[in-house]
Amino acid sequence: MWDERYANEEYAYGTEPNTFFKNVIAQQSLGGSILLPAEGEGRNAVYAAKTGLEVSAFDISIEGKNKAMKLAEKEMVRINYEVGEFFNLSLVNKEYDAAALIFAHFPPQIASKYHHKIADLIKPGGLMIIEGFSVGHLALRKLNPEVGGPGHIDMLYSEETIQRDFPNFEIIQLEEAHVELNEGNFHNGMSKVIRFIGKKIG
């Protein structure tokens, strides 16, 4: 599915960074290294690199990586982007000052496992940043399929699942919010999201 979606010349979710992600980078004065799982076509990775962050990203789609590297070249920045199953990649052997899951929705059988591993890779005092569709988004998706997002409730975020999967983080922000998305062809319209900023304890 993802290779098919990313194979087109047009960027599925646009080339501009996610607004929440962009604002957190500025507000938290992020520096150092950042990990971006399920990064797709690279809009957030390239933006992070433009701010001076050292970016590592991964996805299961080679077409996503190809588009990301093309965007990075256009914007004259460097990103490290790997393709494959998370636990088989070399980037799991590093530590990061931050990680961000931006509409990164994993199948339920691996979601908590991935979340726990990502949390382990963040240095003490580092930040975990999340914006993803909430369980409350399903009703909006039924009204307007163009808003995008998974159609299965067990792939969506809630405040409870965030607290369960990231227990070793001091909560800076955790809320469910209504947002009007305008991200390429596949995130358009009123949506319900979970937003989380956590600082790793210890």
Model pTM score? 0.95
Cα dihedral 37, 65, 153, 24 sign: positive
Note the pLDDT tens digit of each residue in 85-102. 999 999 999 999 999 999
CA end-to-end span of the chain, whole Å? 39
Which domain range does residue 109 map to?
2-200
Which CATH number characterizes residue 160's domain? 3.40.50.150
Q: Is the pLDDT of residue 202 over 80?
A: no
The predicted pLDDT at position 2 comes to 81
| Upper half-sphere CA count for residue 118 (Cβ side, 13 Å) | 31
Q: What is the C-alpha radius of gyration for the chain, rounded to an integer number of angstroms?
A: 16
Domain total for the chain? 1
20: left (phi over 0), alpha (psi -120 to 50) or beta: alpha
For 153-171, write each residue's pLDDT tens digit.
999 999 999 999 999 999 9
* pLDDT, mean of residues 90-117: 96
Residues 13-43 have pLDDT tens digits of 889 999 999 999 999 999 999 999 999 999 9
d(CA 44, CA 60): 16
